[in-house]
Amino acid sequence: MLGRLVALDTTVSQHLHVLAKPFLPHSLLLLLELSADFRFFFPLSLSLLLAPIPDPSPTQILRPLLSPLIFGLLLDLAVVGLIKLLFRRSRPLYNKKMSVAVSVDHLSFPSGHSSRVCFVASLLHLSTAALTDALANLRSASPFVDRWIGADEVNAVRILVSVAWAWAVGTSVSRVLLGRHFVTDVFTGACLGVLEALVSFHLLRF
């Protein structure tokens, strides 16, 4: 039974890759791949946490997110790495010639990119109320921010969360279309990312 499911997963994933390959905007998808890489995302988040931020500053709205974000990124790295070592599923064999934006390991299940982007999008979604309050306080203290978002910080945060989810979905789908992962790798990674966001948000509630 498991063998049949794996075979079906491989067939469907390869079919999607072959269908999409002639139409793929490769540069955009490689940019999505790079934007979700741990080696880019973690140092940037850590730098924002440690850097002195003037008061008021637009960067301040990110402050409430940074502790759970960094914790979740480390949790994701550990969980995904452990599962990959346990299952040791190889990456798709039908796309060996595809160039990659960053070096990758040879293990496929689950997708670390999918878990990471869905973690970030989920954390932003869960933090909507805190971000709205932070942006409202910043708007009252900064004329620049007031002119930028007007009087509707709720809508500004909604747009931010929507963009994050669009990035997460686009990056996750691209993993299959680029031939980096199978469908189940991406689906499992996305579910892990949501769970990691719930854990990080509730453990480091702000």
Query: Could you please report the per-residue DSSP string of 35-88?
Result: HT-HHHHHHHHHHHHHS---SS-GGGGGHHHHHHHHHHHHHHHHHHHHHHHHH-
Distance CA 110, CA 181 (A): 8
Given a contact cutoff of 8 angstroms between Cβ atoms, the answer to whether 64 and 131 are in contact is: yes
Distance CA 181, CA 169 (A): 14
Distance CA 37, CA 100 (A): 12
Give the active site residue among 15, 26, 113, 125: 113
What is each CA distance from 177 to 70, 130, 150, 180, 189, in whole angstroms? 29, 35, 39, 8, 16
Is 106 labeled as catalytic in the residue annotation?
no
Return the H-helix or E-strand segment holding 96: none
Give the active site residue among 15, 26, 106, 181: 181
Q: Report the DSSP beta bridge partners of residue 90.
A: 107
Is 26 labeled as catalytic in the residue annotation?
no
Which residues have a catalytic role annotated? 113, 181
